[in-house]
Homo-oligomer: A and B are copies of this chain.
Amino acid sequence: MVLKLDKVNRGPHLSTLVASSISREIAEGRLKPGDQLPTEQALAQTFGVSRNVVREAIARLRSEGRIWSQQGRGAFVTDATNTTVLTIDYDALQQANAFRSLFELRGILEVEAASLAAKRRTESDIAAMHEALDIMTGAPYGSVMWLKTDLEFHRTVAAATGNPYMVQFLTFVSERVRDSILAAGNQQRSDDMASITLGEHRRILEAIEAGNPEEAQAAMQDHLAGAAHRVGLPDIKPD
């Protein structure tokens, strides 16, 4: 039997609620950049929690770059654009348009990564890619292991560019895309998909190994077009 349980809504921590609440105030413009937040004591009182909880919320917002605080002065909303972290809202991604946009961004990076990888790959890069592809070949299509090594293969391609930020960004984007696909659960499965997908991967690997950027780029492009189709995203590149 397969249980499909929602994650237990173990009441999120109070600090999380407070942080979200303040975050919303900022997002919706009731707190503008430069504005001073109410004092911790005042916030504690209005939310009905201890000052401690408020401080945990503020620590979180500070780490996200949304506010800054100074001892003896207070806490202030930062100049909007200066967040030090990049986040992707999970709920927003459930909308088709948002998902399509993220998929497009991923494609841009993947295609360019494949091209760069073909130019710069080292022996150990090639070996890592082969290994990932081998494991994938032995895994059942759609299984956890399959998805994991699929990501791993793409990660090795990104790594072959020699650009650590390429790896970081691509991994981040790909994971969000994967999560969204899993959540939607509209993956089509059929037996020949495994061999098709594997074939696409193999073509990418061969092009990179051969040091052919244009072919690697084209192979990745085709692979992504195929992937888009498999998750029900037609015409990702109509223009």
Show the binding face of A for B, using Cβ within 8 Å.
10, 13, 15-16, 19, 52, 55-57, 59-60, 62-64, 70, 81-88, 90, 98, 101-102, 104-105, 108-109, 112, 116, 119-120, 151, 162-166, 168-169, 171-172, 175, 239
Query: Nearest chain-B residue to A176 (Cβ)?
Result: B84
CB distance from A151 to the nearest CB of B (A): 8
Cross-chain contact A87 with B88 (CB below 8 angstroms): no
Label chain A's interface by main secondary structure: helix
**How many of these chains are in the complex?**
2
* Other-chain contact of A108, B19, B101, B112, B171 (Cβ < 8 Å): B112
Q: In this complex, which of A86, A88, A239 has the most chain B Cβ atoms within 10 angstroms of its Cβ?
A: A86
* A169-B169 in contact given A15-B59, A55-B56 (Cβ < 8 Å): yes
A-B contact pairs, 6 of them (CB 8 A): A56-B59, A81-B151, A86-B87, A86-B168, A105-B166, A119-B239
**Interchain residue pairs A-B with the least CB separation, the first 3:** A56-B59, A86-B86, A85-B85
Cross-chain contact B119 with A163 (CB below 8 angstroms): no
- Chain B residues with Cβ under 8 A from A83's Cβ? 172
Cross-chain contact A108 with B105 (CB below 8 angstroms): no
- Chain B residues with Cβ under 8 A from A165's Cβ? 88, 98, 101-102, 105
- Chain B residues with Cβ under 8 A from A90's Cβ? 84
- Chain B residues with Cβ under 8 A from A19's Cβ? 63
6 new A-B contacts, CB < 8 A, other than A108-B108, A116-B239, are A10-B70, A56-B56, A101-B163, A104-B166, A119-B239, A169-B169
CB distance from A145 to the nearest CB of B (A): 14
CB distance from A25 to the nearest CB of B (A): 17
* A104-B239 in contact given A63-B19, A64-B85, A87-B85 (Cβ < 8 Å): no
